[in-house]
Structure 1
Amino acid sequence: MTDTATLIAPRSTGAAPPVAPGRTPWKHEAAGFVLGFACLALLPLIFGDTYARHVLIMVFIYAVVASNWDLSLGYGGVFNFGHLALFGIGVYAYSLLTKLAELDPWIALFASGVIATLAAILVTIPILRLKGIYIILVTFGFAQLVMQVIISQSDITGGTQGLVRIPGLYLFDHNMVRDGKFAYFYIALALLVASTLFLRVFVRSRTGASVVALRDNEEYAISRGVSIVRQRMLTLAASAFFTGMAGAFYAAYQRNASVDVFGMSLATIILSMVLLGGTGTIYGAIIASFVLTIFAEWMADFGAWRPMITAVLIIGVMLAYPSGLAGMIKAAWGGVAGRLKRPA
């Protein structure tokens, strides 16, 4: 707590922000960030078939949603079980804006993120002073309310039948339907890059430090002048924008919208990615998105055994490394680095 308190303390004139012990220097993180995403950009050259690129596109979408959920759940400590509703709002906002209002798809993509952010601010109001199970109940109720509104307004939203033939994105005269999913791959990757960059800048800032301070010791943080109302609203709003854009991109890519995006099945998958990756890391959720999605596809022939095997995998990792895949990788890297430093 001392380190976090130091980070949120008033900055002295001309003094650089102190770096918490154990935190990776930003220059090292930036180098790893660029290298990692550069490697991802080369994947279409390695995997030549369209289906492999489709799986990677879905990985990127899940990674955006999971990493943004990690911001509110892992860093903010807010048990926001309405996070998937923000994704669903993005799906339907894009669908209605492009299909009914005939708005340009790129403008609708950005507008969907804004609408999801406004929805997050709206749901934050009743939970500003709540804790624990009460936040879960309110946010879960919000997700169910949004789903019921969509179902009840079937003349506009398609109800349980959903919407089809939703306008997709475009790149000048490039045919994105017959390019083997190249364009959608790089758009999805760009969305993940922008989302991850935003999240990492946010959590490394003094605002991010104050959010963590509220999570770790609410009373002490408030006594230091941190506003729980402002920071909680800011955290949920920050986690909503790219989640809404991911939903919009999902609708543009799949060309359909369904209330299934509000179901517990998808929520369970995304939450598993957050927990398996390690909460409070951002990168852990992204890594887990790759692991769980590709692992599930690899075991497609196992039928009903697939979710059970996946569950055993998650339990095994969490028992061995409570901090998730991020903790496992950090421990492995520490072991390698320690051996390299040993004198021969």
Structure 2
Amino acid sequence: MAALHNGKTGLVGVLVVAGLLVPVFVHDSYLRHLFIISFVYGIVAASWDLSLGYAGIFNFAHVAFFGVGVYATGLTAKLLGLDPWFAMLFGGFAASAAAAIVALPVVRLQGVYVVLVTFAFSQLVMQLVINQSNYTGGTQGMVRVPTIWLPGYNFLRDYKFGYYYVAFALLVITTVCLRWLVRSDFGLSIRALRDNEDYAVSRGIPIAWQRLKALVASAFFTGLAGGFYVIYLRVASPEVFDFSTVSLILSMVLVGGTSSIYGPLFAALFLTFVSEGLANINNFAEGRFMLVAVAMIVVLVFLPKGLGSAVPALLERRRQKTPSRQK
């Protein structure tokens, strides 16, 4: 186990260093843009895994939390004049507040009823955004949202160099926080509720309170990612609530592997590049989602636990072969 843990730690360290070096070797602004979007989706997918994979809550309002972060940040930055850095943080808290509202009926429900309530909430938020067009821009969206800044540095003229590192920092911080949460006593309790609810409750685990905390925690990082998303693109659109967005991010969770924070991150990077690459092919913009669906089915057939289960298996196999080579 120690060797396996060291192997994972070493691999993560290599990937972090590689992530830091990407802008040094990749100068094309579009490729940097794809990395930035994949980091945003990675945060949303990994956060969704906290409530879906670890807590076992079939929460289909997760992308709505992302949209809440988008519009809460855009509105406070543009209409109230709040500094974009603080507006991003406000987007995270607004998404957590929305999750707390959703949790009120959800924590006591089971199965398909959770799906119906959370999906209805997502549609409610989208309709609210569309109807309040005087503030949100309605179906036309909100444009010219103020962006982040640093003294003496212009984020708009550096070919997305600064945006890349902000997105990467948010990704690393989110990953560290999520890993800490799932390894804590809180993480053990929500997994116990997921695996055997009756036994967990009999051991004194408060089901409603733990599920509430799982939803609020996952929504905070999602809202933070939504805040950065609108600050980066400077546009807020109701398209963030579309079913295509839901299906794409959900595919990242399933392909990467549930109950695996790292898996959805890698799947987000892979599927973002594949999806955007296919979108640039003539007459294939809509068909790309079909290929993503096919890729998801193939992965789930051959790797039911997702791509995230492949790396530990390879490291374990390598560890088992090492003593035989020494002999």
TM-score > 0.5 by shorter chain: yes
Q: Which residue of 2 aligns with 1:223?
A: 202
1:339 matches 2:308: no
Q: 1:328 to 1:143 in 2, by over 3 A?
A: same
Q: Deviations over 1:126-158 (max 9, x none)?
A: 112100000000000111111111111111111
CA 1:239–1:24 in 2, change beyond 3 Å: closer, same or farther?
A: farther
Aligned to 1:324: 306
Alignment map for 1:149-188 (pairs within 5 Å): 149-188=128-167
Q: Which runs of 5+ in 2 are unaligned?
A: none
**How far, CA to CA, are the matches of 2:4 and 2:117 in structure 1?**
36
**1:253 is matched by which residue type in structure 2?**
Y
Query: 1:189 Cα shift?
Result: 0.3
Work out the CA distance in 2 between the residues paired with 1:305 and 1:137: 28
Shift of residue 317 of structure 1? 1.4
d(CA) in 1 for partners of 2:4, 2:223: 30
Give the counterpart letter for 2:175 in structure 1: T
1:316–1:228 distance in 2 versus 1, CA, 3 Å: same
| CA distance in 1 between partners of 2:106 and 2:58 (Å) | 10
Q: Secondary structure at the match of 2:59?
A: coil
* Percent of matched pairs sharing the same residue: 46
Structure 1 unpaired stretches of 5+: 1-20
Q: Given the superposition, is the C-alpha separation of residues 48 and 341 from structure 1 closer, same or farther in structure 2, using an over 3 Å criterion?
A: farther
Classify 1:333/1:150 alpha carbon distance in 2 versus 1 (closer, same or farther; 3 Å): same
Q: Which residue of 2 aligns with 1:308?
A: 290
Equivalent of residue 245 in structure 2, options 260, 266, 272: 266
Q: Which AA in structure 1 matches 2:129? A: I
Name the Cα RMSD after superposition. Answer: 1.8
Q: Deviations over 1:41-66 (max 9, x none)?
A: 11112212111100000010000000
What CA distance in whole angstroms lies between the structure 1 residues aligned with 2:289 and 2:59? 24
Counterpart AA for 2:281 = D
Q: Over residues 211-259 of structure 1, what are the superposed CA-to-partner deviations in whole Å (9 max), with x where a residue is unaligned?
A: 1000000000000000001100000001011100100100001111010
- What TM-score comes out, normalization by structure 1 length? 0.90
2:37 to 58, 65, 72: 58
The CA distance in 2 between the partners of 1:44 and 1:232, in whole Å, is 39
Partner of 2:110: 131
Q: Secondary structure at the match of 1:180?
A: coil
**Secondary structure at the counterpart of residue 279 of structure 1:** coil
Q: Distance in 2 between matches of 1:123 and 1:38?
A: 38
Distance 1:331 1:42 in 2: 28
Tell me the equivalent position of 1:111. Answer: 90
Q: Which moved more, 1:281-290 or 1:29-38?
A: 29-38
Could you tell me how far apart the structure 2 residues matched to 1:279 and 1:23 are?
A: 23
2:66 to 83, 87, 91: 87
